[in-house]
Amino acid sequence: MNETQTITSTQSVLRDIRTEITDNDAKEDVNRYVPAEHRPRESNTSSFGALAHLLKASLSSGVLAMPVAFKNAGLITGIIGTIFVGLICVHVTHIFVKTSQALCVDIKRPCLGYSETCYSVFKNGPKSVQKFASIARFLADCSLAVTHLGACCVYIVVVAESFKQVSDEYCGPSWSVSAFCALTLIVLIPLTQITKLKYLVPFSTFANFVWLTSICISLYYCLRKSQPLSKRNLSTSFSGFVNFISTSLFAMEGIGVVMPIENEMLKPNQFLGCPGVLTIAMSAVVALFAFVGFTGYLSFGEDVRGSLTLNLPHDEILAQVAKILVACVMLLSYALIFYVPLEILWKRIKNKFHENNHRICVACIRLAGTVFTVGLACAIPRLELFMELVGAVCLSILGITFPVIIETVFLWDKDMGKWKWILWKNTFILIFSILVLISGISCSIQTLFQKL
């Protein structure tokens, strides 16, 4: 065989190999599992609809808490810190959703919730961590439940303080905030006995309109009472910055609602990316939160409260309307937030009761949960303290620690990038989360002993 024939034969073999590889890749692409194609027909939310849902979920009581976060940090540090916390929240949410979507392809599941993702990543991860799958799901469920219960306590305190301010203006009974917290049971007990989520959805639509109205009214008063920059702190202490981080996490971190929204999308691949649903929504949220925090602290200074509406004038009808509307919406929203921890608890214990007793058991658990959150709010009616504790303890774990651990476990036997940069990046974020957790708890406990 001469040299020309050898070269020709070699080229022919290489073409055959390339053709075989291409055919195999094509077959693999054809057989590749696409989760979106297997989702229920009810999962038909458009990208615009998902954006609207994510914006609505983000514009809750947190936006009205940003001025007190700026009080803790100062104007300049507050703006820089808001952008920093926003970037952290966007990134960890992005990697968690990305991991969940990739995992759905691997295990051929249409979609996964938050705790299901935590469980499945460990269950299908390296053998050394598979035994921790159930623990991961349990910790995820606990974090979700405690976060929502903490938010319920925040709502109760805001409702109580709002009604107390209006009552005091019209010479009502001079009761304490704790007494007004206890009075919320009159509305909350029957409201939390609604077990079907579809009956609570209309309240959400009303709440969105009221939130927007209240924010506009609050900003009107902020701009009307704006003060010179020289009268406000541009930066504060380390402990103040820690409290800022905790409050900002409480306000901005919404990973608990992200997965349900993504799971309902018709085209989930449009949730991530640039620009994707997550990027657009969080960019708007960070900008709005920074603006509200800056103007709120600039206007009211060291007197700013845990909810901006509590700083509005007591003797003006427009301000009173805003306070009452926010209080009413929080009462209604309480039932929606309360639904999550009760569902988590009930799924874990319902098999311990006879099926005929399920309805009475659910009613008793809901009653006990309502009384517990109201009792906690009565015992510690400190709005800022609740937000700092929930942000430092729950959301640092739920929103930061879990996502970076989940991505690391999922990619452990895969590609960690050049020089394993993903591992180093996640290690840095994990250390930051632990520092927020420890320092946040210590500062909150110190504040608790100072104020009680």
- Predicted confidence (pLDDT) per residue in 70-104, tens digit: 998 899 999 999 999 889 988 998 999 999 988 88
**Separation CA 111–CA 3 (nearest Å):** 57
Average of per-residue pLDDT across 312-335: 84
CA distances from 136 to 115, 142, 401, 445 (A): 8, 10, 12, 27
| pLDDT at residue 405, rounded to an integer | 92
Q: Which residues contact 283 (CB under 8 A, 6 or more apart)?
A: none
**Residues 166/323, Cβ–Cβ less than 8 Å:** yes
Q: Tell me: pLDDT of 349 over 90.
A: no
Question: Average pLDDT, whole number, for the chain?
Answer: 81
What pLDDT is attached to residue 309? 83
Considering only CA atoms, which of 381, 433, 373 is closest in space to residue 403?
433
Tokens of 403: 């996502």
pLDDT band, very low/low/confident/very high, at 14 (cuts 50, 70, 90): very low
In the prediction, which pLDDT does 202 show?
66
Exposed e or buried b for every residue in 372-382, given b needs 16+ CB within 10 A? Answer: ebbbbbbebbb
Topology (CATH) of 62-271+284-451: Amino acid/polyamine transporter I (1.20.1740)
Joined together, the tokens standing for residue 252 give 């901005």
Distance separating alpha carbons of residues 201 and 182, to the nearest angstrom: 26
Task: Give the model confidence (pLDDT) of 138-184 as tens digits.
Answer: 998 888 888 888 888 888 888 888 888 888 888 767 788 888 889 99
Number of C-beta neighbours around residue 399 at 10 A: 26
Preceding omega of 268 cis (within 30 degrees of 0): no
Across 61-70, 248-257, 269-278, 290-299, which has the greatest mean pLDDT? Answer: 290-299
Residue 386: is its pLDDT beyond 80?
no
